[in-house]
Structures are given as structure tokens and as C-alpha cells.
Amino acid sequence: MVPLRSVDWDDGAVVIVDQTLLPNELRHLRITNVSHLVGAIKRLAVRGAPSIGVAGALGVALAARTHPPADQAQAFDDDVHALRSARPTAVNLARAVDRAAGARGGGYHAILAEGLAIRDEEIASCWSMGIYGSELLIELTGERPQRLMTICNTGGLAAVERGTALGVIQTMLERGLLAEAIPLETRPLLQGGRLTTWELARMGAPFRLIVDSAGPFLLAQGAADAVLVGADRVAANGDTANKVGSFSLALGARNAGVPFIVVAPESSMDLDTPSGEMIEIEDRGSEEVTRAWRETIAPLGTKAINPAFDITPHEMITAVVTDRRVIRLDRGEKLSEVPLGPLRTSHRRSAI
Ligand code: MRU
């Protein structure tokens, strides 16, 4: 599979894959100003917690080119503020923007170097999560081909080059241990139906797509061995913000007695937020719900409730897998207590 980067830097521009056009068209956008980048993040042309973190950090480099922080501090700060608040739920965005902006003393080149370092770290993290996650799955359900249910898109599109939860599924495929992936379509913006299916097909993975409401029922019928989801933010107590529908899957997994595993890099762990109720959940307004992709489906003027994310309580999560450790919440382990282990990238393969 030819590696593809959802977000990168090229000669003074942030280059993103426009994820709103997939799976019908693979088009890159070259973005050279901060307001266009903020717009791209808000309309989910670039999306997924690690990808928006990297986009935001590289956006700070764009800001520094236009408004050198030493001479135009106010304009630079305004750009940084616009980037860090483009979306509220994923901690990666504000954190990566702040980290890049922290290099302002070294000017544009130092900021760009920080943004590129964050990009490289996120790529390496995904390889490591694949190893930790696949070992956990083998421990929990045995070394045999597994059926793995997942929601939203947590592949390379969401995490720069390789995925978090979908990266574990890819690692299982590479190890000959994937019987089937079962992605949920993920209303309203269909990240599962449009993007995860596209990535699974590119990998050559066996998969079948389901509607969101079928997830808990199919789990009860024994259709999957485990559920793997990503995270936009994991609070200190393990409560996890992820794409809306994750909580229903956790309920379904508990009902069926199958493991519910969160896979996310350390850059999504937020020890400063004690629990899930303190996480701001992005409200994306009515229109995404009253339309099914581009067709209007509800009478004009219909109001909708549209939280983009939900919170899965830590009691319902079997384990959080990061790039540096596995935290067994089901055994009472705590994020603040489990020590960081090594970043494990030695099993890198140029994939299938
Ligand atoms: O609204 P999105 O598409 O950005 O939501 C993405 C998710 O919920 C992902 O599961 C999460 O960001 C982890 S991505 C590796």
C-alpha cells in the first residue's frame, strides 16, 4: 500500500487530503494562510485528533511566515488563538498549537521544526500502538483471526499516515490475524462509511459495513470479538471522548461481554481534565443531521441535537492502549500510575 499523508508540509504550504471528497475523489489542498486552514479544520477537510493537531502546529508556522512573532506579536497571537480554538474536543489541537507557538522565540524556522517533530511523533506513535494493541488483543481473545468492530475513522486519514484503532486492525491484518473488520457508518458525516471503508479497501482487509444502530445488536449476536475505538481526549480517570456512538458501542460490548478498547496516543491523554463531564463536546448544529450527506431528509426548519462526540465512562472501558503503555481500566489501573514504556517501532514493515 502506498503511504499517504493526511497532512504534511511542502514548501511553505500545509498540504492536506480533502477528506470531504473521499471516497469519490482523492484531492490534495495546498493551504498557505491561517484562515483557510481554520476553515478546513472546521469543515473536517482535515479531521481526526492527531491529524488536526499536526495541521494546527504547522498552521502556527504559516502564521509565523505571515506575521513574524518578534515584529507582529498581536497578529501572530490572533492566528494562534484561531487555530487552537477551531475545534474544542480533541486535546491534540490546542496542545500541538501551544507546543509549536512555544518555539516563537526561535522564529519561523524553530516553529516549523516543532510542527514537523509533532508530525513525525504522531506517525511513530501509530506503529507503536499497533504493536501494543495487537498484543493486548491476542492476550484477551487468543492468537486467532479476529472480528473487530470500530466506529468513525481512526486510520491514517485521522492520524497522519497510519491509524490508532484502525492501526491496530491494520497490524492484525499484517500478522494474519484479521478475520473481518466491521466499521460503523458513523452518522451524520459518515467517516466510517466513506473513509474507513476506503482505507480498509486500500489495505486489502476483509470488511463489512454496518449502520450505527446495528452495532450493539450485532455484538449481542456474537458478531465481533472486540470493539476498538479512537479518542479525542482521555480524561485523568479514563473517561473517553470519542465520536458520538462510541458510548452505545461500549454498552453493547458490556452487554455482549466483549472487550471495549480505546486506542489513542499519549498526545490525547489529558491528565489536567479530571473526568469526562469537564470535556467540552463540540455541537455541530442541526444541518448535518437534517441532511443525509448532501440530501435534505427532514422537513425545512427541523431542529436537531448534534453532539459530535460522546463520553464513554471509564468503568465501561477494558483498556486504554497508547504508544507507550496499556492501561487496564478493567483491573482498576489509573492513567496517573501506569508508567510509560518504550515507543515500539521496531516491527515497522512496509505494509501490504
Ligand atoms: O469529528 P472527527 O471526524 O474529527 O472525529 C474523529 C474521531 O472521533 C476519532 O475517533 C478520533 O479523533 C481519533 S482519530 C485517530
pLDDT digits (tens, 9 = 90+) for 34-92: 999 999 999 999 999 999 999 999 999 999 999 999 999 999 999 999 999 999 999 99
Rounded mean pLDDT of 230-247?
A: 98
Let me know if 330 is a catalytic residue: no
Q: Ligand 1 centre and the CA of 191: distance in Å?
A: 9
Omega before 68 within 30 of 0, i.e. cis: no
Is the minimum distance from the CB of 244 to ligand 1 under 6 angstroms?
no
**Positive/negative CA dihedral, 129, 131, 136, 141:** positive
Residue whose cell numbers read 481512526: 154
Q: Which of 79, 212, 225, 232 is catalytic?
A: 232
Candidates 238, 232, 229, 252; CA nearest to 331 is 238
CATH code of the domain occupying 127-331: 3.40.50.10470
Look up residue 80 and give its three cell numbers: 494562534
Measure the CA–CA gap between 209 and 193, rounded to whole angstroms: 7
Residue 352's pLDDT is what? Answer: 35
Candidates 196, 139, 189; CA nearest to 166 is 196
pLDDT digits (tens, 9 = 90+) for 307-323: 999 999 999 999 999 99
Q: Is 5 helix (H, G, I), strand (E, B) or coil?
A: coil
Are both 7-121 and 127-331 of the same fold?
no
Residue whose cell numbers read 464513554: 312
pLDDT digits (tens, 9 = 90+) for 107-130: 999 999 999 999 999 999 999 999
Q: Is 280 helix (H, G, I), strand (E, B) or coil?
A: coil
Count other Cβ atoms within 10 Å, centred on residue 160: 27
Measure the CA–CA gap between 269 and 92, rounded to whole angstroms: 9
Q: Is 189 helix (H, G, I), strand (E, B) or coil?
A: coil
- Cβ contacts of 325-328, under 8 Å, gap ≥ 24: 325/132, 326/132, 326/136, 327/238
CATH topology of domain 7-121: Four Helix Bundle (Hemerythrin (Met), subunit A) (1.20.120)
The band of 348, judged by pLDDT with boundaries at 50, 70 and 90, is: low
Candidates 172, 169, 171, 202; CA nearest to 183 is 169
Q: Give domain limits for the chain.
A: 7-121, 127-331
Q: Which residue's CA is the closest to the ligand 1 atom numbered 10?
A: 230
Asked whether the whole model's pTM tops 0.85, one would answer: yes
Q: Is 7 helix (H, G, I), strand (E, B) or coil?
A: strand
Q: For residue 59, how many C-alpha atoms fall within 13 Å in the half-sphere facing its CB? A: 33
Residue ranges with strand state E in 97-200: 146-150, 178-183
Ligand 1 pocket test target in 232, 310, 312 with most atoms within 8 Å of CB: 232
What atom in ligand 1 is closest to the CA of residue 152? 10
